[in-house]
Amino acid sequence: MVRAIVVLVALFLAAHSATGAEAIVGRAVVIDGDTLEIHTKRIRLYGIDAPESGQSCTVQGKSSRCGQLAALALADKIGSRRVTCEAKDRDDYNRVVAVCHSDGEDLNAWMVARGWAMAYRQYAIDYISQEQNASASRLGIWQGEFVPPWDWRRDRRIEADNRVQVTETKRPQTETKRPESCVIKGNVSARGEHIYHVPGGRYYDATQINPSKGERWFCSEAEAIAAGWRPSKR
């Protein structure tokens, strides 16, 4: 009987290991309201979707940079504490998709409960109750009007594609005007590396966009990664 139990435990542990689950622990850098970086690993918070860095919402008739506010809320919540992220999957951009905790509290749930992210129903239903409570209490983005992040990204992709077509047919190749709401800079380095820079990054302000070199603006990190750009390390 004891031997049988030992065998069953061994099989369970082997099966668990086969899922490739991993825990990532350390100081976290907040990239945006649903993305962290720990030890150079990009981590997408499972089951939630926060406003993008360049996204604005409307509160009492005034425009509010809700993407930045969501990122700041998460950064303030974490502070300098250690974060533990339990991996559940990897997304199409090879980022770890995880549930992350700080001081034992589920950060994914906290972002939705405070109204700074939505339950990402396309991929999970874990945080729907937190979203309903935040909406009822008019917290975070629920204080005013906003476009769900997934729709905002879709609209920016359509606008960007349309602008590229106009640029190719009517504008000179040296045009550097930034498309509205697209704030991420896609730069080609002297070594030919395709690197994107987000607002607040060390080299963001110094980076100039030259379309004749193949450089461009992006409306989201997901768009930049999908186009073959990698994030700046600083």
118-164 pLDDT per residue, tens: 999 999 999 999 999 999 999 999 999 999 999 999 988 887 666 65
Q: Which residue has the higher pLDDT, 220 or 75?
A: 75
Region 180-206: mean pLDDT is: 86
Residue 5 pLDDT? 47
Q: Which CATH fold topology does 2-143 show?
A: OB fold (Dihydrolipoamide Acetyltransferase, E2P) (2.40.50)
Region 70-81: mean pLDDT is: 97
- pLDDT of residue 41 exceeding 90, the answer is yes
Could you give the percent of the chain with pLDDT greater than 70?
83
Residue 1 pLDDT? 53
Global pTM? 0.64
Residue 89 pLDDT? 93
- pLDDT of residue 171 exceeding 90, the answer is no
Residue 99 pLDDT? 98
Dig out the tokens for 120 from the structure.
Answer: 């990402």
Question: Which residue spans of the chain are classified as CATH 2.40.50.90?
Answer: 2-143
